[in-house]
């Protein structure tokens, strides 16, 4: 795919479809799909088995990677490429005081992207982010007035986001998802896999009571025989990770006969996005150039995954049969053009599209925007780290 084809595509085609055939690394076809929380309390997590049409045939499938997870992988690919200097992207970073020992976070790592609750607890030059000129322009942006989002958070315009924490009700920004990408395991059936942990020291579960402490290294002390219980309730050694875990058969896997990744980017949806000038003028060529950049950015994130590999999670790694098939589909299914696109050419295409948009006055912010966590966010993180050190389970929601 070249720039002329991309410009034509966002101008007149319906969708861009990317399809990759995949095989399991293990020849037995055993994989571990993601598990999802049950809708009713008390019910166990479930794996998403279902029926689906694949290339015209109805088959039993299992979800190996959901659209939400695929979006996160695209953002990770963009972040890695941006930090390595391979592409230009207007990242926003959030830093904590050095004493916290926290990494620098990117907006590309946040669940709700630029509208995440974390962004409302960040400062830019001692001013709350959404009270700055940049923050206000992002909050005011909509599909028809998307220039600020293009400048400061462009992938939001294809992966979607909702300012659900803004308190604006139906007037809050709501950016629809234009890319749908999913990986399905084919001819799928549930499978049991055994889980076990052997302790060579053979520490038994009832030999002592362990009293939790606030010392993050020692974590516990042994309760003295006949000693009185303190404020902290004693726990068994197994609750601190000691001892063996007997082998159990757990239905948390699937056996599949290959997999398929199907990704669809809506060019029709891209045409709903407009990038007015500072004077409010809407220019067709400028809009077309901006839409091409969004498409190129999203396509780069997709094909970069093919290049870096499909290690979806533990015991779920897939191998692509080839670099995939990219189709530009016109107004009808009688208008399908197949083109090639790999990570290297996708990177070149993105650079060319960005240069073309710059000629129309559309540019990404050239430098990384560096925010700092405010006192509320610092305290939330501090308390969360303390809770984790005491062995509290991670929140499910």
What is the pTM for the complete model shown?
Answer: 0.87
pLDDT value, residue 201: 76
Give 342-368 pLDDT, tens digit per residue: 888 999 999 999 999 999 999 999 999
Domains of the chain: total: 2
Look at residue 193 and tell me if it is in a domain.
no
Range of the domain at 207: 199-243
Tell whether the model's pLDDT for residue 392 goes beyond 70.
Answer: no
Look at residue 346 and tell me if it is in a domain.
no
- Measured CA to CA, the distance from residue 376 to residue 390 in angstroms comes to 21
pLDDT value, residue 397: 41
Look at residue 9 and tell me if it is in a domain.
no
Look at residue 345 and tell me if it is in a domain.
no
DSSP state of 310: E
Tell whether the model's pLDDT for residue 56 goes beyond 80.
Answer: yes
Look at residue 11 and tell me if it is in a domain.
no
The secondary structure element, H or E, covering residue 178 is none
Tell whether the model's pLDDT for residue 4 goes beyond 90.
Answer: yes
pLDDT value, residue 396: 45
Residue 40 pLDDT grade (very low, low, confident, very high; cuts 50, 70, 90): confident
- The whole-chain average pLDDT of the chain stands at 90
Q: Are residues 229 and 263 in the same domain?
A: no
Of residues 389 and 306, more confidently modeled: 306
Give 148-193 pLDDT, tens digit per residue: 999 999 999 999 999 987 766 667 889 999 999 999 999 999 998 7
Q: Are residues 50 and 127 in the same domain?
A: yes
pLDDT value, residue 50: 95
Tell whether the model's pLDDT for residue 391 goes beyond 90.
Answer: no
Q: Are residues 92 and 48 in the same domain?
A: yes
pLDDT value, residue 198: 67
Look at residue 165 and tell me if it is in a domain.
yes
Tell whether the model's pLDDT for residue 88 goes beyond 90.
Answer: yes
Residue 373 pLDDT grade (very low, low, confident, very high; cuts 50, 70, 90): very high
pLDDT value, residue 306: 80
Give 211-234 pLDDT, tens digit per residue: 888 777 787 888 877 666 667 788
Q: Helix, strand or coil for residue 133? A: helix
Residue 250 pLDDT grade (very low, low, confident, very high; cuts 50, 70, 90): low
Q: Are residues 83 and 207 in the same domain?
A: no
- Measured CA to CA, the distance from residue 251 to residue 188 in angstroms comes to 13
- Measured CA to CA, the distance from residue 110 to residue 270 in angstroms comes to 23
Q: In 109-244, at which residue ranges do the beta strands (DSSP E only) sit?
A: 122-124, 127-128, 161-162, 174-175, 179-186, 189-197, 210-212, 220-222
**Average pLDDT of the residues in 49-62:** 94
Cβ atoms of 243 and 203 within 8 Å: the answer is yes
**Average pLDDT of the residues in 274-286:** 97
pLDDT value, residue 82: 96
pLDDT value, residue 19: 95
Q: Are residues 126 and 184 in the same domain?
A: yes
pLDDT value, residue 10: 97
- Measured CA to CA, the distance from residue 211 to residue 219 in angstroms comes to 8
Q: Are residues 96 and 221 in the same domain?
A: no
């Amino acid at each position: 795919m070249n720039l002329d084809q991309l410009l034509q595509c966002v101008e007149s085609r319906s969708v861009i479809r990317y399809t990759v055939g995949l095989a399991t690394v293990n020849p037995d076809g055993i994989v571990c799909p993601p598990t999802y929380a049950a809708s009713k309390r008390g019910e166990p997590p479930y794996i998403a088995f279902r029926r689906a049409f694949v290339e015209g045939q109805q088959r039993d499938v299992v979800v190996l990677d959901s659209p939400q997870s695929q979006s996160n992988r695209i953002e990770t690919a963009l972040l890695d490429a941006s930090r390595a200097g391979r592409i230009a992207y207007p990242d926003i970073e959030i830093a904590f005081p050095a004493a916290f020992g926290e990494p620098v976070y990117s907006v590309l790592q946040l669940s709700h992207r630029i509208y995440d609750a974390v962004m409302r607890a960040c400062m830019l030059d001692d001013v709350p982010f959404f009270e700055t000129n940049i923050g206000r322009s992002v909050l005011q942006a909509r599909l028809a007035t998307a220039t600020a989002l293009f400048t400061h958070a462009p992938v939001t315009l294809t992966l979607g986001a909702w300012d659900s924490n803004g308190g604006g009700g139906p007037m809050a920004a709501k950016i629809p998802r234009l890319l749908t990408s999913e990986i399905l395991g084919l001819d799928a059936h549930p499978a049991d896999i055994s889980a076990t942990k052997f302790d060579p020291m053979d520490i038994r579960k009832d030999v002592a009571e362990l009293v939790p402490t606030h010392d993050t290294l020692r974590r516990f002390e042994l309760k003295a025989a006949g000693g009185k219980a303190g404020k902290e309730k004693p726990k068994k050694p197994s609750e601190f990770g000691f001892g063996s875990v007997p082998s159990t058969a757990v239905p948390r896997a699937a056996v599949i006969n290959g997999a398929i990744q199907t990704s669809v980017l809506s060019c029709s949806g891209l045409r709903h996005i407009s990038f007015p000038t500072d004077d409010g003028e809407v220019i067709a060529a400028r809009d077309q150039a901006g839409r091409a950049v969004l498409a190129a950015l999203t396509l780069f994130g997709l094909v970069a995954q093919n290049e870096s590999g499909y290690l979806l999670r533990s015991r779920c790694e897939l191998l692509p049969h080839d670099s995939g098939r990219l189709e530009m589909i016109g107004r009808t299914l009688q208008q399908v053009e197949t083109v090639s696109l790999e990570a290297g050419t996708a990177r070149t295409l993105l650079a060319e599209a960005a240069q073309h948009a710059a000629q129309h006055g559309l540019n990404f912010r050239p430098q990384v925007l560096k925010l700092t966590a405010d006192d509320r966010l610092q305290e939330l993180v501090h308390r969360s780290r303390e809770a984790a050190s005491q062995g509290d389970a991670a929140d499910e929601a």
